[in-house]
Amino acid sequence: MPADPGKPPTVTPVRVVIALCLIAPFVAMLWVSSYAKVDPTFIGIPFFYWYQMLWVLISTALTMIAYKLWQRDQRSRKGGASA
């Protein structure tokens, strides 16, 4: 069955960026050997702990970016469908 020429593709560059924003924290936290060490310490806190806490902030920012991109993508799809 041929694709509808008026319908934009399901996988778009914006959706790929959204997926990368949501997957990055999982990859970073599941790759434990990359941060399972004590040095460098930050204000006396071992790397293992402050790296994970940093990812809490990074994950929040990436999730917010993904959400805003998703909203923009949905608005553009609705606007393009009615035109």
**Structure confidence at residue 83 (pLDDT):** 45
pLDDT exceeds 80 at position 1: no
Give 66-72 contacts, CB < 8 A, sequence gap 24+.
Answer: 66/17, 66/18, 66/21, 66/22, 69/14, 69/17, 69/18, 69/21, 70/18, 72/14
Q: What is the pLDDT of residues 17-38, one digit of tens each?
A: 999 999 999 999 999 998 889 9
Peptide bond between residue 40 and the one before it cis (omega within 30 degrees of 0) = yes
Q: What is the pLDDT of residues 25-81, one digit of tens each?
A: 999 999 999 888 999 989 999 999 999 999 999 999 999 999 999 999 888 888 765
